[in-house]
Amino acid sequence: MKIYVGNLPFSVDHEGLKKIFSGFTVDEATIISDKYSGRSKGFGFVTMADDAAAKKAISELNDKEIEGRKLKVNEAKPMEERPKRDFNNRDNNRGRDTRRRY
C-alpha cells in the first residue's frame, strides 16, 4: 500500500521519513522536492507491502507531532490527470492572451 505523508518539516529527508516509520517494515520512502531548488515540498510517500501494517501505521502516525508540525498520514490516492493546455487558445488562459508581442 502507498501512504501519503503530509505536513512534514522541511528538514526531513528520505532517511528521516524512514525513521518516522521505524516501527514498521517500509519498502520505499520518498520525499517530494522542488525540481529547481531541490528543497522539500513538505510531503512524501511511503510504500509498505503489508496492507494491515500500513493501516496500523496510518492510524498511529496521523496527527503525530514532529518538530512542531502535526503529520497528515493517509492512504495515497492516484494522481489525477491534468488537462493539457493550449497556450494559443485564449479560452484556456482565463481570458488572458499569453502570446508574446514584439
DSSP letters along 69-93, please?
EE-EEEEPPPPPPPPPP-TT-GGGG
Q: Per-residue pLDDT tens for 53-64? A: 999 999 999 999
Looking at residue 83, its pLDDT comes to: 82
Coil vs helix vs strand at 38:
coil
Q: What is the pLDDT of residue 74?
A: 96
Q: Domain 2-75's class?
A: alpha beta
Kindly list the domain boundaries of the chain, sorted by start residue: 2-75
Q: Return d(Cα 30, Cα 92) in angstroms, integer.
A: 34
Tell me how far apart the alpha carbons of residues 1 and 64 are, in angstroms, rounded to a whole number: 20
5 within 8 A of 14, measured Cβ to Cβ: no
Give the predicted TM-score (pTM) of the model: 0.77
| pLDDT < 70 positions in the chain | 86-102
pLDDT at residue 87, rounded to an integer: 63
